[in-house]
Amino acid sequence: MPCRTVLNGNYFKMGIIKEYSLYGYIEHGIQYKDRKERKENMAMKKKPVTGMKDILPKEMEIRDYVIREIKETYKTFGFSGVETPCVEHIDNLFSKQGGENEKLIFKILKRGEKLKLDQAKEEMDLVDGGLRYDLTLPLSRYYANHANDLPSPFKALQMGNVWRADRPQRGRFRQFMQCDIDILGEPTILAEIELITATTTLLGRIGFEKFTIRLNNRKMLKAMAAYSGFEEQDYDSVFITLDKMDKIGLDGVATELAEQGYSKENVDKYLALFEKTDSGIEGVRFLKDTLGDYLETEVAQDLETIMTSIDATKSADFKIVFDPTLVRGMSYYTGPIFEIAMDEFGGSVGGGGRYDEMIGKFTGQNTPACGFSIGFERIVMLLLEKDYQVPASGEKTAYLVEKNMPEDKMLAILQKANEQRRNGTQINIAIMKKNKKFQKEQMEKEGYTVFEEFYVDRMQ
């Protein structure tokens, strides 16, 4: 450990490094034993790891506020908090449910004797865990593990970080917070209705309006593809193209499907469906009539009931639309799927759906499950961008205390501060600096509006 030494102030202010035979290296008043120690210390990195970020107080204030609103709102809907470890079994993460996500997993090295470096042939021989890349897989494991101790249906609220080794880019980070609500063990669309109502109520409470909930059903997607003559094995690739509709339009999708070798007949039939389908309940009814036996009867009925119920009971300013082009990437969805679209953001700020077959992968017994995840980071970003002011929580007061305040007088100041704190006032006690004006300006930036100054000779 370097220890503090001041040998020659001026000398070191110039940032000059000099070797002393007795003391080793000294730089900026810090003494290092030898070249090696100095080099080691210079290797300390100030920036966070690539793609992850430090969060400054201003953003933390907004995050804390959103977290508080989330907990309070979802509690009124009967959701209970749960938490799972950030580290998950590598086998669970690589269980073919995450698709593309598997490439993005941060893997954790085995430890101790389990790590056999000389025998390892591939990556997977070296690792036994990984950082979770979503909250849905860990929640399914959690429910499989604890179902006996939980009510049925179980309404879970989980907030926590997830990690994905994506290529770093503006506004996208490799560690980010997710916030999921899930209803496990409820087979009816009461689950979908409650999830959408809870989420939209929350968004309304934190000041969002005029957003849109897009609704579809994986079974509707499949029925439309089947009706148009596509083979089941091609569905996923067809849906990947369909998913680009909002970017490349109907013609773009037609071109891309043709390029992939699908017959003109199938493609034309498929796209005609989208052209004719309205985004309201009329659209659902049209497809119900058109698709006939390709569609299970209750799929259309359920979509209609969800839309009617949400419209009739909503407490925020938004609309819910039927959108047959909504795909949602994850292959684990089995029924209704939904997404939040917000003009201000130009993309999705959350989504979810029914995944009735994931818990069965852990238990061997399928359990109905449905979840809604909000894009916590995007919501925080939108609030930061519009300079959102967190509802005030009392005045912030700064005590500036002159240097070398005698002990008995300092005691009186501390006592006064603690009394005010007990009443909920925020008191920051700081030693007065030479440049008091600058000090105050700095504190004003942090939201301090009241300043009390204490001088040695003006205290009783």
Rounded Cα distance, 299 and 325, in Å:
16
Residue 52 touching a second copy (CB under 8 A): yes
Segments of 218-346 assigned E as strands: 318-322, 336-342
Residue 329 touching a second copy (CB under 8 A): no
Structure tokens at 434: 């030479």
Residue 284 touching a second copy (CB under 8 A): no
Our CA angle for 79, 83, 88, nearest 5°, is 135
Footprint on residues 74-103 left by a second copy (CB under 8 A):
75-78, 80-89, 91-92, 95-97
Site string for a second copy, 107-146 (x = CB under 8 A): xxx-x---x-x--x-xx--xxxx-x---------xx-xxx
Nearer to a second copy, 271 or 417 (CB): 417
Residue 226 touching a second copy (CB under 8 A): no
Q: Where does this chain touch a second copy (CB under 8 A) — which range of 194-202, 206-214, 254-262, 337-345?
A: 194-202
User: Taking the complex as a whole, how short is the minimal distance between the CB of residue 293 and a second copy, in angstroms?
Assistant: 19
DSSP secondary structure, 186-201, as one string: --STHHHHHHHHHHHH
User: Taking the complex as a whole, how short is the minimal distance between the CB of residue 169 and a second copy, in angstroms?
Assistant: 16
Structure tokens at 252: 């773009």
Residue 457 touching a second copy (CB under 8 A): no
Nearer to a second copy, 145 or 260 (CB): 145
User: Taking the complex as a whole, how short is the minimal distance between the CB of residue 29 and a second copy, in angstroms?
Assistant: 6
Query: Contacting a second copy (CB under 8 A), which of 212, 255, 279, 331?
Result: 331
Footprint on residues 372-401 left by a second copy (CB under 8 A):
393, 396, 398, 401
Angle between helices 281-291 and 297-313 (to 10 degrees): 170
Q: Which helix (H) or strand (E) holds 163?
A: strand 154-163
User: Taking the complex as a whole, how short is the minimal distance between the CB of residue 2 and a second copy, in angstroms?
Assistant: 6
For the chain, the C-alpha Rg in angstroms (whole number) is 29
User: Taking the complex as a whole, how short is the minimal distance between the CB of residue 108 and a second copy, in angstroms?
Assistant: 5
Rounded Cα distance, 174 and 178, in Å:
12
User: Taking the complex as a whole, how short is the minimal distance between the CB of residue 249 and a second copy, in angstroms?
Assistant: 31
Q: Where does this chain touch a second copy (CB under 8 A) — which range of 53-61, 239-247, 258-266, 285-293?
A: 53-61
Cβ distance 301 to 189 under 8 Å? no
User: Taking the complex as a whole, how short is the minimal distance between the CB of residue 283 and a second copy, in angstroms?
Assistant: 19
User: Taking the complex as a whole, how short is the minimal distance between the CB of residue 77 and a second copy, in angstroms?
Assistant: 6
Residue 22 touching a second copy (CB under 8 A): no
Nearer to a second copy, 153 or 267 (CB): 153
| Closest alpha carbon to 324 in 316, 336, 334, 332 | 336
Nearer to a second copy, 90 or 340 (CB): 90
Cβ distance 75 to 152 under 8 Å? no
Query: Contacting a second copy (CB under 8 A), which of 2, 235, 258, 278?
Result: 2
Between the two ends of the chain, the Cα-to-Cα distance in Å is: 45
Cβ distance 226 to 266 under 8 Å? no
Residue 212 touching a second copy (CB under 8 A): no
Rounded Cα distance, 132 and 162, in Å:
6
Burial of 393 (0-12, 13-18, 19+ CB in 10 A): exposed
Q: Where does this chain touch a second copy (CB under 8 A) — which range of 72-80, 273-281, 336-344, 371-379?
A: 72-80
Footprint on residues 435-454 left by a second copy (CB under 8 A):
442-443, 445-446
Residue 430 touching a second copy (CB under 8 A): yes
Angle between helices 281-291 and 264-276 (to 10 degrees): 140
Output the furthest CA–CA distance in the chain (Å, rounded): 94
Residue 39 touching a second copy (CB under 8 A): no
